[in-house]
Structure 1
Amino acid sequence: MTSKILIVDDDEEIRKVTGIYLENEGFEILKAENGYEALKIIKESGVDLVLLDIMMPGIDGIEVCMKIRENNLMPIIFLSAKAEDLDKIHGLTSGADDYITKPFNAMELIARVKSQLRRYTRYSNTQSISKNIMEIGNLTINIDTRLVYVGGKEVRLTPKEFDILELLARNKGIVFSIEKIYERVWGEEFYKSDNTVMVHITKIREKLEEDPKHPMYIKTIWGVGYKI
């Protein structure tokens, strides 16, 4: 079955050229010139992958990405002229699966699109897989096997580290206090002087993050707690 790809960009030429590249590979192409139109198409037509610009009028790509993620699991690839590392981190932590900077190489774009579609198809083959494998950017969490991967490479977590990560991942966007994390994971009453959760969060970041001091996945909400 032909995969359906939505190209979202306020630049008509980008939409046109990108569409030609992908149509030549046999994909069905839909196009949107802004975020509102993109969300409408996704709701009414459904798509298998979204190519999404960041800097658009009205509603930017980051917000569009987060709105898509409220109800959809299809791959999202940012196509953006913003090339700084912080821009890429922001894009990936908002729910995107990949980030390509403009101007881009056509062959690289096609390769990344096919790669994301393969992953999405594999993980969506059965209902149980979609429920038990969570993907957040380059982070993959397999609940059944309790294995964690970053960029396809296995990362070994202790049982409690995995439990903390699973708790936050299952409740993405929700802030958990240190007390709540401790009580949910350890099943015991929390004592204010206990820094067990903070130590475990530090260890998880050291294993998952390229730069633990500027984490992409587990965010600190100062004075409140942690969230993914």
Structure 2
Amino acid sequence: MPARLLVVEDEPLINQAVADRLRAEGYAVTQAFTGPEAVALADAEEPDAVVLDIMLPGFDGIEVCRRVQSRRPVPVLMLTARDDESDILVGLGVGADDYLTKPFRMRELVARVHALLRRVERAGELARAPRAGVSLDGLEIDAAARRVRVDGNEVHLTPTEFDLLSMLASAPGTVLTREQLLAEVWGWADASGTRTVDTHVKTLRAKVGGARIRTAHGVGYALETRS
């Protein structure tokens, strides 16, 4: 059974082009053009992933993402016409897993969707396998329940943030390169999305504490232990 995708874009030509390309890749695609329509279709269709533009009539993609994620976790690839970090950080903060800045290459969008769906499948496999949790200097990662506590307080992480933190926690103190993180967390075989790693680390730091994640400039990141 093909994966179900919801494409949300108010520009008809872009919406149709994206939908046509994803259908050609074998996906079942539903299209929405406004914020309210997107939320209604997400409830009715329960898509496996959402391609979501930020600028929409009715209410914007940030609000769509917030409402959709509050009902049922679903991977979201957000599209933004501006390379504005504040928009991107807000989108990731309400549950988007990845983003693309317009104009984008259709081949790259397809690759991002493929990667999102592969990660969901892999997360399901890992959830069924017995795994030990991590407890490190007040940071507790419950691998089976996919929950995180910082100094006893539970923090909400998006699926991508959880996977990124788990990857860093698998080797505390060891610098993992951006390319390693892209391959293991995002499932990308190339290094074209290193800025995606940087942006997700920024949102993760805001939730678990900036001092916990060290930047190795020009290389990558490490989960630090407290001295």
The two structures have a TM-score, normalised by structure 2, of 0.62
Distance change >3 Å, CA 47–CA 209, structure 1 → 2:
farther
Q: Equivalent residue for 1:204?
A: 209
Higher Rg: 1
The one-character-per-residue Cα deviations of 1:171-215 (angstroms, maximum 9, x if unpaired) are xxxxxxxxxxxxxxxxxxxxxxxxxxxxxx9983133487xxxxx
Between the aligned partners of 1:72 and 1:202, the Cα distance in structure 2 is 21
* C-alpha displacement of 1:53: 0.7
Work out the percentage of aligned pairs sharing the same amino acid: 32
Between the aligned partners of 1:209 and 1:68, the Cα distance in structure 2 is 33
Q: Equivalent residue for 1:112?
A: 112
SS of equivalent to 1:36: helix
Distance change >3 Å, CA 202–CA 18, structure 1 → 2:
closer
* C-alpha displacement of 1:36: 0.9
Q: Equivalent residue for 1:163?
A: none
Between the aligned partners of 1:55 and 1:209, the Cα distance in structure 2 is 34
Instruction: Tell me if 1:94 matches 2:94.
Output: yes
Distance change >3 Å, CA 133–CA 20, structure 1 → 2:
same
Distance change >3 Å, CA 209–CA 47, structure 1 → 2:
farther
Between the aligned partners of 1:62 and 1:138, the Cα distance in structure 2 is 17
Q: Equivalent residue for 1:169?
A: none
Structure 2 residues without counterparts, runs of 5 or longer: 130-142, 148-156, 174-205, 216-227
The one-character-per-residue Cα deviations of 1:78-130 (angstroms, maximum 9, x if unpaired) are 01102122221121112100010111111111111000001112223587679
Between the aligned partners of 1:209 and 1:137, the Cα distance in structure 2 is 21
Aligned length: 161
Between the aligned partners of 1:140 and 1:202, the Cα distance in structure 2 is 11
* C-alpha displacement of 1:13: 0.7
Between the aligned partners of 1:59 and 1:203, the Cα distance in structure 2 is 30
Between the aligned partners of 1:11 and 1:25, the Cα distance in structure 2 is 21
Alignment map for 1:154-173 (pairs within 5 Å): 154=170, 156=172
Distance change >3 Å, CA 17–CA 108, structure 1 → 2:
same
Q: Which amino acid aligns with 2:40?
A: K
Distance change >3 Å, CA 91–CA 117, structure 1 → 2:
same
* C-alpha displacement of 1:7: 0.4
Distance change >3 Å, CA 14–CA 131, structure 1 → 2:
farther
Confirm or deny: 8 A CA contact 1:8 1:51 kept in the other structure.
yes
Confirm or deny: 8 A CA contact 1:34 1:56 kept in the other structure.
yes
Between the aligned partners of 2:158 and 2:214, the Cα distance in structure 1 is 13
Alignment map for 1:22-171 (pairs within 5 Å): 22-125=22-125, 132-133=145-146, 135-136=157-158, 138-140=160-162, 148-149=166-167, 154=170, 156=172
* C-alpha displacement of 1:8: 0.5
Q: Equivalent residue for 1:16?
A: 16
Distance change >3 Å, CA 43–CA 207, structure 1 → 2:
same
SS of equivalent to 2:40: helix
Between the aligned partners of 1:68 and 1:105, the Cα distance in structure 2 is 26
Between the aligned partners of 1:116 and 1:63, the Cα distance in structure 2 is 21
The one-character-per-residue Cα deviations of 1:25-51 (angstroms, maximum 9, x if unpaired) are 111110001111111111112100000
Confirm or deny: 8 A CA contact 1:148 1:155 kept in the other structure.
no
Q: Which amino acid aligns with 1:206?
A: A
Between the aligned partners of 1:106 and 1:58, the Cα distance in structure 2 is 26
